Amino acid sequence: MELVDRGLRGLMLIKRKNGPTKWFLKYQCPRTLQKRSVSFGLYPDVPLDIARQQAMQLIRQEYGDDQFELMNSPAHSFHDFTAQENVGGGGGGGG
């Protein structure tokens, strides 16, 4: 399951059935135009605000401050994920 952060384009939380939940930033390199994916660690060890800071730093390095933009995504948000985890109790069966 991929949950997109509504606050930062490209930042997502990827939850696998039989694996850890990780933060990733997916973006296109402005120089090579290659798609890239960078991990920022495991959730909940790395909280949302730290993942955003790390992602913003990488974006500024790659694109420069002029191209940096925050925008909303219509996909599920990180907050939707935490609400589901709290309702479900965080344990139990697969999804």
Rounded Cα distance between 93 and 95, Å, is 7
Written as six digits, the tokens of 94 are: 């697969």
pTM tops 0.85: no
Q: Which pLDDT band holds residue 73 (cuts at 50, 70, 90)?
A: very low
pLDDT at 63 over 80: no
- What is the C-alpha separation between 62 and 17, in angstroms, rounded? 32
